[in-house]
Protein backbone atom coordinates (compact mmCIF):
# COMPACT_ATOMS: atom_id res chain seq x y z
CA UNK A 1 0.00 0.00 0.00
CA UNK A 2 2.80 2.42 0.92
CA UNK A 3 4.45 1.66 -2.44
CA UNK A 4 1.31 2.66 -4.31
CA UNK A 5 1.00 5.91 -2.35
CA UNK A 6 4.62 6.81 -3.10
CA UNK A 7 3.82 7.40 -6.79
CA UNK A 8 1.78 10.27 -8.20
CA UNK A 9 -0.48 7.91 -10.17
CA UNK A 10 -0.96 5.69 -7.11
CA UNK A 11 -1.95 8.62 -4.92
CA UNK A 12 -4.47 9.87 -7.49
CA UNK A 13 -5.89 6.37 -7.88
CA UNK A 14 -6.28 5.98 -4.10
CA UNK A 15 -7.84 9.45 -3.92
CA UNK A 16 -10.33 8.46 -6.63
CA UNK A 17 -11.31 5.24 -4.84
CA UNK A 18 -11.94 7.11 -1.59
CA UNK A 19 -14.01 9.66 -3.56
CA UNK A 20 -16.19 6.90 -5.05
CA UNK A 21 -16.71 5.41 -1.60
CA UNK A 22 -17.77 8.77 -0.12
CA UNK A 23 -20.06 9.54 -3.06
CA UNK A 24 -21.88 6.23 -2.55
CA UNK A 25 -22.27 7.05 1.14
CA UNK A 26 -23.56 10.51 0.24
CA UNK A 27 -26.41 8.99 -1.79
CA UNK A 28 -27.33 6.68 1.09
CA UNK A 29 -27.20 9.57 3.57
CA UNK A 30 -29.37 11.69 1.29
CA UNK A 31 -31.94 8.90 0.85
CA UNK A 32 -32.34 8.51 4.62
CA UNK A 33 -32.62 12.26 5.18
CA UNK A 34 -35.17 12.52 2.39
CA UNK A 35 -37.41 10.21 4.42
CA UNK A 36 -37.66 12.99 7.03
CA UNK A 37 -39.52 15.05 4.42
CA UNK A 38 -41.68 12.21 3.10
CA UNK A 39 -42.49 10.13 6.21
CA UNK A 40 -41.29 11.03 9.71
CA UNK A 41 -42.19 7.62 11.18
CA UNK A 42 -40.18 5.74 8.56
CA UNK A 43 -37.31 8.20 9.07
CA UNK A 44 -37.35 7.43 12.79
CA UNK A 45 -37.38 3.70 12.20
CA UNK A 46 -34.55 3.75 9.65
CA UNK A 47 -32.48 6.15 11.78
CA UNK A 48 -32.93 3.92 14.81
CA UNK A 49 -31.85 0.87 12.82
CA UNK A 50 -28.78 2.66 11.44
CA UNK A 51 -27.91 3.95 14.89
CA UNK A 52 -28.17 0.63 16.73
CA UNK A 53 -27.24 -2.07 14.21
CA UNK A 54 -23.89 -3.53 15.31
CA UNK A 55 -22.58 -4.03 11.75
CA UNK A 56 -23.21 -0.41 10.84
CA UNK A 57 -21.97 0.98 14.14
CA UNK A 58 -18.84 -1.11 14.68
CA UNK A 59 -17.79 -1.98 11.11
CA UNK A 60 -19.22 0.46 8.56
CA UNK A 61 -19.00 3.58 10.71
CA UNK A 62 -15.24 3.22 11.46
CA UNK A 63 -14.62 2.47 7.76
CA UNK A 64 -16.52 5.63 6.83
CA UNK A 65 -14.54 7.77 9.28
CA UNK A 66 -11.27 6.33 7.98
CA UNK A 67 -12.44 7.00 4.41
CA UNK A 68 -13.23 10.64 5.22
CA UNK A 69 -9.88 11.21 6.94
CA UNK A 70 -7.98 9.45 4.15
CA UNK A 71 -9.70 11.50 1.44
CA UNK A 72 -8.94 14.83 3.05
CA UNK A 73 -5.37 13.95 4.04
CA UNK A 74 -4.64 12.60 0.56
CA UNK A 75 -6.16 15.76 -0.94
CA UNK A 76 -3.78 17.93 1.05
CA UNK A 77 -0.83 15.67 0.16
CA UNK A 78 -1.64 15.89 -3.55
CA UNK A 79 -1.97 19.67 -3.34
CA UNK A 80 1.43 19.99 -1.63
CA UNK A 81 3.03 17.62 -4.15
CA UNK A 82 1.50 19.50 -7.08
CA UNK A 83 2.73 22.86 -5.78
CA UNK A 84 6.20 21.38 -5.33
CA UNK A 85 6.17 20.17 -8.92
CA UNK A 86 5.24 23.65 -10.22
CA UNK A 87 8.43 25.43 -9.21
CA UNK A 88 9.09 26.61 -12.78
CA UNK A 89 6.84 29.40 -13.99
CA UNK A 90 5.72 28.82 -17.58
CA UNK A 91 5.30 32.16 -19.37
CA UNK A 92 3.25 30.71 -22.22
CA UNK A 93 1.01 28.62 -20.03
CA UNK A 94 -2.14 30.41 -18.94
CA UNK A 95 -3.54 28.32 -16.08
CA UNK A 96 -6.85 30.15 -16.13
CA UNK A 97 -7.35 29.26 -19.79
CA UNK A 98 -6.37 25.60 -19.42
CA UNK A 99 -8.38 24.70 -16.33
CA UNK A 100 -11.66 25.52 -14.66
CA UNK A 101 -12.06 27.61 -11.52
CA UNK A 102 -13.29 24.50 -9.69
CA UNK A 103 -10.23 22.44 -10.56
CA UNK A 104 -7.86 25.24 -9.46
CA UNK A 105 -9.64 25.71 -6.13
CA UNK A 106 -10.43 22.14 -5.05
CA UNK A 107 -8.25 22.58 -1.95
CA UNK A 108 -10.31 25.59 -0.79
CA UNK A 109 -13.70 24.01 -1.41
CA UNK A 110 -12.32 20.91 0.36
CA UNK A 111 -11.24 22.99 3.36
CA UNK A 112 -14.68 24.56 3.68
CA UNK A 113 -16.33 21.14 3.41
CA UNK A 114 -13.99 19.87 6.15
CA UNK A 115 -15.03 22.75 8.42
CA UNK A 116 -18.65 22.06 7.55
CA UNK A 117 -18.22 18.37 8.43
CA UNK A 118 -16.77 19.26 11.83
CA UNK A 119 -19.84 21.43 12.53
CA UNK A 120 -22.13 18.66 11.26
CA UNK A 121 -20.43 16.16 13.58
CA UNK A 122 -20.84 18.58 16.51
CA UNK A 123 -24.53 18.98 15.66
CA UNK A 124 -25.45 15.34 15.15
CA UNK A 125 -22.73 12.70 15.49
CA UNK A 126 -21.13 13.66 18.81
CA UNK A 127 -24.51 14.12 20.60
CA UNK A 128 -25.59 10.73 19.24
CA UNK A 129 -22.38 9.08 20.49
CA UNK A 130 -22.94 10.72 23.88
CA UNK A 131 -26.53 9.44 24.16
CA UNK A 132 -25.76 5.88 23.06
CA UNK A 133 -22.32 5.13 24.45
CA UNK A 134 -21.82 7.53 27.36
CA UNK A 135 -25.36 7.80 28.72
CA UNK A 136 -26.05 4.23 27.59
CA UNK A 137 -29.47 4.96 26.06
CA UNK A 138 -29.98 3.00 22.84
CA UNK A 139 -33.77 3.00 23.08
CA UNK A 140 -34.16 5.81 20.54
CA UNK A 141 -36.93 7.35 22.64
CA UNK A 142 -37.15 10.95 23.79
CA UNK A 143 -38.26 9.57 27.15
CA UNK A 144 -37.42 5.87 27.66
CA UNK A 145 -40.08 5.68 30.40
CA UNK A 146 -42.84 6.92 28.13
CA UNK A 147 -43.68 4.56 25.25
CA UNK A 148 -45.96 7.19 23.70
CA UNK A 149 -43.24 9.83 23.43
CA UNK A 150 -42.07 8.44 20.10
CA UNK A 151 -38.64 8.12 18.56
CA UNK A 152 -36.44 11.19 19.02
CA UNK A 153 -34.58 11.40 15.69
CA UNK A 154 -37.12 13.45 13.72
CA UNK A 155 -37.66 15.90 16.58
CA UNK A 156 -33.91 16.39 17.01
CA UNK A 157 -33.47 16.98 13.28
CA UNK A 158 -36.17 19.64 13.21
CA UNK A 159 -34.75 21.29 16.34
CA UNK A 160 -31.34 21.70 14.71
CA UNK A 161 -32.79 23.64 11.78
CA UNK A 162 -34.63 26.26 13.81
CA UNK A 163 -31.80 28.87 13.83
CA UNK A 164 -31.48 30.80 10.57
CA UNK A 165 -27.67 30.93 10.87
CA UNK A 166 -27.39 27.13 10.96
CA UNK A 167 -29.67 26.72 7.93
CA UNK A 168 -27.62 29.34 6.03
CA UNK A 169 -24.39 27.59 7.01
CA UNK A 170 -25.69 24.23 5.80
CA UNK A 171 -26.89 25.72 2.51
CA UNK A 172 -23.49 27.36 1.89
CA UNK A 173 -21.78 24.10 2.82
CA UNK A 174 -23.81 22.17 0.24
CA UNK A 175 -23.06 24.80 -2.43
CA UNK A 176 -19.34 24.23 -1.82
CA UNK A 177 -19.96 20.49 -1.90
CA UNK A 178 -21.59 20.90 -5.30
CA UNK A 179 -18.63 22.90 -6.62
CA UNK A 180 -16.24 20.28 -5.26
CA UNK A 181 -18.18 17.43 -6.86
CA UNK A 182 -18.50 19.15 -10.24
CA UNK A 183 -14.78 18.68 -10.77
CA UNK A 184 -14.15 15.78 -8.40
CA UNK A 185 -16.56 13.35 -10.06
CA UNK A 186 -15.01 13.51 -13.53
CA UNK A 187 -11.51 13.73 -12.05
CA UNK A 188 -12.05 10.51 -10.09
CA UNK A 189 -13.10 8.60 -13.21
CA UNK A 190 -10.14 10.01 -15.11
CA UNK A 191 -7.76 8.91 -12.34
CA UNK A 192 -8.91 5.29 -12.61
CA UNK A 193 -8.53 5.35 -16.40
CA UNK A 194 -12.23 5.41 -17.28
CA UNK A 195 -11.73 7.21 -20.60
CA UNK A 196 -13.85 5.37 -23.16
CA UNK A 197 -17.05 5.64 -25.15
CA UNK A 198 -18.99 6.13 -21.91
CA UNK A 199 -16.93 9.18 -20.83
CA UNK A 200 -19.44 11.73 -22.13
CA UNK A 201 -22.31 9.96 -20.37
CA UNK A 202 -20.32 9.72 -17.13
CA UNK A 203 -19.61 13.45 -17.25
CA UNK A 204 -23.30 14.18 -17.72
CA UNK A 205 -24.20 11.87 -14.84
CA UNK A 206 -21.47 13.47 -12.71
CA UNK A 207 -22.84 16.98 -13.32
CA UNK A 208 -26.36 15.84 -12.47
CA UNK A 209 -25.11 14.13 -9.30
CA UNK A 210 -23.03 17.16 -8.27
CA UNK A 211 -26.02 19.48 -8.60
CA UNK A 212 -29.02 17.38 -7.55
CA UNK A 213 -27.64 15.71 -4.39
CA UNK A 214 -26.44 18.94 -2.71
CA UNK A 215 -29.61 20.71 -3.90
CA UNK A 216 -31.65 17.94 -2.31
CA UNK A 217 -29.88 18.45 1.02
CA UNK A 218 -30.55 22.21 0.80
CA UNK A 219 -34.26 21.56 0.19
CA UNK A 220 -34.36 19.23 3.22
CA UNK A 221 -32.75 21.87 5.46
CA UNK A 222 -35.15 24.57 4.24
CA UNK A 223 -38.13 22.23 4.62
CA UNK A 224 -37.39 21.62 8.29
CA UNK A 225 -36.70 25.29 8.95
CA UNK A 226 -40.03 26.43 7.51
CA UNK A 227 -42.11 23.53 8.86
CA UNK A 228 -41.56 23.85 12.58
Task: Kindly report the three-state secondary structure assignment for every residue of 15-61.
Answer: HHHHHHHHHHHHHHHHHHHHHHHHCHHHHHHHHHHHHHCHHHHHHHH
Task: Report how far residue 210's alpha carbon sits from residue 186's, in angstroms, rounded to the nearest whole number.
Answer: 10
pLDDT value of residue 91: 45
- In eight-state DSSP terms, residue 151 is B
What pLDDT sits at residue 106? 81
Spell out the residues 6+ positions from residue 97 whose beta carbon is closer than 8 angstroms to its own. Answer: none
Domains of the chain, residue spans: 2-84+102-226
pLDDT tens, the chain, 228 aa long = 555 566 777 888 888 899 999 999 999 999 999 999 999 989 999 998 998 899 999 999 999 999 999 999 988 888 887 776 655 545 444 555 556 667 777 888 888 999 999 999 999 999 999 888 888 887 776 555 555 555 789 989 999 999 999 999 999 999 999 999 988 888 888 777 666 666 778 888 989 999 999 999 999 999 999 997
- Cβ neighbours of residue 66 closer than 8 Å, sequence gap 6 or more: none
Asked if residues 1 and 10 have their Cβ atoms less than 8 Å apart, the reply is no
Query: How far from 55 is each of 33, 92, 223, CA to CA, in Å?
Result: 20, 55, 31
pTM confidence score: 0.84
**pLDDT of the residue at 208:** 94
> What is the model's pLDDT at position 211?
95
CATH of domain 2-84+102-226: 1.20.1300
Amino acid sequence: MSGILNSSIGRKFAMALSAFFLMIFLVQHFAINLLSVCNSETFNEVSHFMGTNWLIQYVMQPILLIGVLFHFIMGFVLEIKNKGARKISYVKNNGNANSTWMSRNMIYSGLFILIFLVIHFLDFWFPEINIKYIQGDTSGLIDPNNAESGLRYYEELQHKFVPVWRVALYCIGFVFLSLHLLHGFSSAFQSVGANNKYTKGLRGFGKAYAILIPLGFIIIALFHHFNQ
